[in-house]
Structure 1
């Protein structure tokens, strides 16, 4: 993702500033309306410097997601599989929660987010797959896709129905759906 060596302190500061500015802008504006010029101006970084680190604003957004979600993977893998909403709630800071609320209607933002999260979960699930029963009747790789689909479907349901976020309730519904999926396939 980031093309320059991360050991250089100037590079770290520049990337950190670009990330910080993007998150700040995302709290008040739709991602699809934010421009690279705007990010660079706010970060006091030249466009050519931006492009030394990121190919476009989507890649910067992926970097921001990666930084925000990293603590999620510090939770025990079994806990992440059983209580993904509680783990996410404990992971995301208030700033990222504000971003998610602000961007709820921005299709481009969620396209990038869903793709990133699905890839992250699928990679993570490979650790867990070995613990599934051997007699499973589906390809093990599909498990991560199903888990991600259920998480995102539940979150979209919550948004569409204007249901207040309750991690314990969401985890309960998630667990019920996953049990149903695993027992019927």
Structure 2
């Protein structure tokens, strides 16, 4: 019975070494290029030990991300505050910049990226047209508008993905109507008026 806590501590220490080794390697190279041997060498953990705890590097990555979430994204305490949750996400991304960059990057030619880019360009043009005509588009205002554009396109594509992945549980007209009835963002009204 007394050996179990010591063993648990040893397991946790091994996991921590492997997590840290993976994150350190991801600072300098793409995840796809990283090998289990590199991870084990850096963590000073035997390959046999690695495979005792993880199936492969993808399993390790999944557990590493879970660890980051548990340590830095404690949503249980911010469940009723989306603002606090958002703050924690940006804080975690700032601390783990290269990891987030790799995991959030999209293939330039993917449909998701194409939709986001084209939709975003259209919304940005719509929101800045009057400001451009009156020479009122400052760099700060342009940045604010770009943040709004990214929020819109992210939300739209997220809903589209959910709808498709769940076998389109509601009619396309219904989801379209419900989406635009939500006041998720401060300037959501521009979408309602411009699409009616």
State the Cα deviation string for residues 147-184 of structure 1 (Å, max 9, x = none): xxxxx97xx75xx98x9899x74785379757962738
How many positions carry a matched residue from both structures?
130
User: Separation in 1 of the partners of 2:39 and 2:143?
Assistant: 32
Label 1:12 to 1:171 Cα distance change in 2 as closer, same or farther (>3 A). Answer: same
Q: Does structure 1 residue 32 correspond to structure 2 residue 32?
A: yes
User: Separation in 1 of the partners of 2:53 and 2:32?
Assistant: 20
Q: RMSD across aligned C-alpha pairs, in angstroms?
A: 4.4
Per-residue deviation at 1:27? Answer: 1.1
| TM-score scaled by length of structure 1 | 0.52
| TM-score scaled by length of structure 2 | 0.50
* Structure 2 stretches lacking a partner, 5+ long: 122-141, 160-176, 183-196
Label 1:103 to 1:84 Cα distance change in 2 as closer, same or farther (>3 A). Answer: same
Q: Does structure 1 residue 88 correspond to structure 2 residue 86?
A: no
* Structure 1 stretches lacking a partner, 5+ long: 108-151
Q: How does 1:88-167 map to 2 (within 5 A)?
A: 88-90=89-91, 92=92, 94-102=94-102, 105=105
The answer as to whether partners of 1:18 and 1:39 remain within 8 angstroms in 2 is: yes
The structure, 1 or 2, with the larger RCO (C-alpha pairs under 8 Å, 6+ apart) is 1
Per-residue deviation at 1:84? Answer: 5.5
Q: Does structure 1 residue 183 correspond to structure 2 residue 181?
A: yes
Label 1:69 to 1:15 Cα distance change in 2 as closer, same or farther (>3 A). Answer: same
State the Cα deviation string for residues 101-147 of structure 1 (Å, max 9, x = none): 2555587xxxxxxxxxxxxxxxxxxxxxxxxxxxxxxxxxxxxxxxx
Q: Does structure 1 residue 78 correspond to structure 2 residue 57?
A: no
State the Cα deviation string for residues 80-100 of structure 1 (Å, max 9, x = none): 3x675434113x054412222
Q: Does structure 1 residue 42 correspond to structure 2 residue 35?
A: no
